[in-house]
Structure 1
Amino acid sequence: MIQDILTGIPLGIFLCFMIGPVFFILLETAAVKGIRAALVFDLGVVIADIVFICIAYFSSYRLINSIKDEPALFIFGGLIMATYGVISFIKLKKASTSEKVDPEVELIKKNYGSLFIKGFLLNFINVGVLGFWLLIIITFGPQLDLQTSRLLVFFGSVIGTYILVDLAKMFLAKRLKSKMTPKNILKIKKITSILLVLFGLIIMSQGFFPSDQKFVKGVINKIEHQK
């Protein structure tokens, strides 16, 4: 059991520093809205990961094989992310020019339900995350003898480490709050919106250029070889 926990810790640390939209939005949320808001957002991300882990573990090879060459999934997911970024940017533009809305109140307001959904969807619409968890199961499953109890300990260690390291990132980001003037908050949120658009376009490109879907396809090939 101890060995399974120690095996999962490095992977949890690695996950925390994978550069993607979740990485930037988590830091932004902690700096602008505080630790509690960032935790709610992070919980949404973690739940999406758990759903993907369950799908990767319980789904049949036929189901996974049916989605591996489906570019529409990448295009759809990337389009949602890019659209969300564009809409957020436009709203921020309007908020910065509106005289009726107090920009400080508008930009830092907390809606925990929306934050949770935002974290969940930003992670869930990225099909590559499913491929990543499939690869992890294929790589580490045999080492754990594919025993459900050992897999639960392993993935519990991964997720637990992920949350703990994310907490450290949140506290570091929170220290910047003294510099979070309405003007700076607006700039950070605009930059985050632009990054969402860019990441969305990158995901969409995997649908328009199927040969670039090497990651997911490599995972599927490994599954097929293990039949």
Structure 2
Amino acid sequence: MIEDVQAAIPLGFLLSFMIGPVFFVLLETSATKGFRAALFFNLGVILADIFFLTIAYFSSYQLLENLSNQPGLYVFGGVILLIYGLTTFFSKDFVKRKTDIKPRKGGYLSLFIKGFLLNFINIGVLVFWLGVIIIVGPSLENNPNRIILFFSSMLAAYFITDLFKILLAKQLKRKLTPERIRWVKKGLGIILVICGVVLIIKGFLPKDQLNIEKGIEYIRD
């Protein structure tokens, strides 16, 4: 059991630094809105991961293959990210006083939902968790208790690492002027647009370039 936890912690740490829209939005939220806002956003992200993990656990390799044959799912998620990125980039609601940066109490729920949806719309997250389960499952003897312990430890390490990222990003808040906030949000918008375009391109790639089996074999080797 202890060996399973020790194996899961490094994976959780690496997962926290996977570059994607959630990574940048989390840092931006911490820097502009504070620790509590970023915490609620991150809890939404974690809930989406748990949701995908549950689906992945009760699914099979066949579902993984079916996802690779449904490029429309990538296009759908990519279009949503693209629209969200463009909205963030062109939004005029940038210039605020520092005292106005903190969200209202009711805004924490919206940040939680935002974190969940931003992670949920990326079908690649589900593919990722399916791949991890397919690779890790046999080494855990497909024992439900060991699998639950492994992924719980992995998500715990992921969450704790994110807390440190939030605290570091929060230090930037004191140096943020309205103009800098404007450029942070514009940069975030560009990153989200790029992530959306990448997902859309994945949807239009030939099927043989989305071969999940080859990807898993590559990881194993």
TM-score of the alignment, normalized to the shorter chain, above 0.5: yes
Counterpart Cα distance in 2 of 1:14 and 1:96: 32
Of 199, 207, 215, which residue of structure 1 is paired with 2:195?
199
Structure 1 pair 10–215 and aligned structure 2 pair: CA distance change class (3 A): farther
Quote the RMSD (CA, aligned, Å).
2.2
Deviations along 1:56-78, one digit per CA (max 9) or x if unpaired, are: 11024444433321111010000
**TM-score normalised to structure 2 length:** 0.89
Amino acid at match of 2:29: T
Counterpart Cα distance in 2 of 1:96 and 1:185: 7
Q: Secondary structure at the match of 1:86?
A: helix
Question: Equivalent residue for 2:93?
Answer: 95
Of 157, 179, 184, which residue of structure 2 is paired with 1:188?
184
CA contact (8 A) 2:75 2:202 kept: yes
Once the two structures are TM-superposed, the CA of residue 135 in structure 1 deviates from its matched residue by 1.4
Of 118, 130, 135, which residue of structure 2 is paired with 1:134?
130
Amino acid at match of 2:53: I
Counterpart Cα distance in 2 of 1:84 and 1:139: 33
Deviations along 1:10-54, one digit per CA (max 9) or x if unpaired, are: 100110111111111111111111111111111111111111111
CA contact (8 A) 2:31 2:173 kept: yes
Structure 1 pair 191–168 and aligned structure 2 pair: CA distance change class (3 A): same
Amino acid at match of 1:144: L
Mapped pair 1:53 → 2:47: no
Mapped pair 1:109 → 2:103: yes
Q: How many aligned positions are there?
A: 216
Structure 1 pair 151–86 and aligned structure 2 pair: CA distance change class (3 A): same
Counterpart Cα distance in 2 of 1:213 and 1:116: 35
Mapped pair 1:84 → 2:122: no
Counterpart Cα distance in 1 of 2:87 and 2:100: 16
For structure 2, the residue ranges without an aligned partner over 5 or more in a row are: none
CA contact (8 A) 1:48 1:123 kept: yes
Superposition pairs for residues 206-217 of structure 1, below 5 Å? 206-211=202-207, 213-214=209-210, 216=212
Mapped pair 1:173 → 2:169: yes
Counterpart Cα distance in 1 of 2:42 and 2:151: 17
Question: Equivalent residue for 1:71?
Answer: 71
For structure 1, the residue ranges without an aligned partner over 5 or more in a row are: 223-227
Q: Secondary structure at the match of 2:19?
A: coil
Counterpart Cα distance in 2 of 1:218 and 1:106: 50
Counterpart Cα distance in 2 of 1:219 and 1:57: 19
Mapped pair 1:147 → 2:143: yes
Counterpart Cα distance in 1 of 2:118 and 2:78: 10
Once the two structures are TM-superposed, the CA of residue 112 in structure 1 deviates from its matched residue by 1.2
